[in-house]
Amino acid sequence: MHSQNIIWKTDINEAVATSAEKRKPLLIFFTGQGVNPQLQNEIFATRDFEDWSRKNVILVKLDLSDASITDSAKEQNLRLKNAFGIEEIPQVCFTEVAVRKGKTNFNKLGLISYMSSGVKAWISESNLILNPE
């Protein structure tokens, strides 16, 4: 990611712990090798996204084609992809996380993918998912 100050977690367990600590939902970015880079280049690489994400979510990037991660991490990422109903990548899933008695429960809030209408429209759509009125 070429945005200056955005930090993407790549370990879901670390992200869950941070989410619980900061009481923020997760933005899980499911991606892989060879996917269309528009979401990253036109949305994630903007100052608007950087400012918005810092205030609202914990960023998680799960690269389903990453050869450097362990088999168990790969398996876990695929299980999450299937559990959230991700059919095409790149795709973003917003989810709240609760950890009780050592068990992690995800509450899927919604999915969003690339929108050609720009970062402001993407953020407003994301806000509707995060804060349904």
- With contact defined as beta carbons under 8 Å apart, do 104 and 16 qualify? yes
In a domain, 52, yes or no: yes
Confidence band for 3, pLDDT divided at 50, 70 and 90:
very low
Find the CATH number of the domain harbouring 105. 3.40.30.10
pLDDT at 5: 74
Q: Dump pLDDT digits (tens) for 4-57.
A: 578 999 999 999 999 999 999 999 999 999 999 999 999 999 999 999 999 999
Whether the ω angle into residue 90 lies within 30 degrees of 0, i.e. cis, is yes
Domain extent, residue 43, equals 12-130
Q: How far is CA 81 from the centre of its chain?
A: 11
Give this prediction's pTM: 0.94
In a domain, 102, yes or no: yes
| Nearest C-alpha neighbor of 52 from the set 6, 115, 9, 93 | 6
Q: Dump pLDDT digits (tens) for 56-86.
A: 999 999 999 999 999 999 999 999 999 999 9
In a domain, 16, yes or no: yes
> How many structural domains comprise the chain?
1
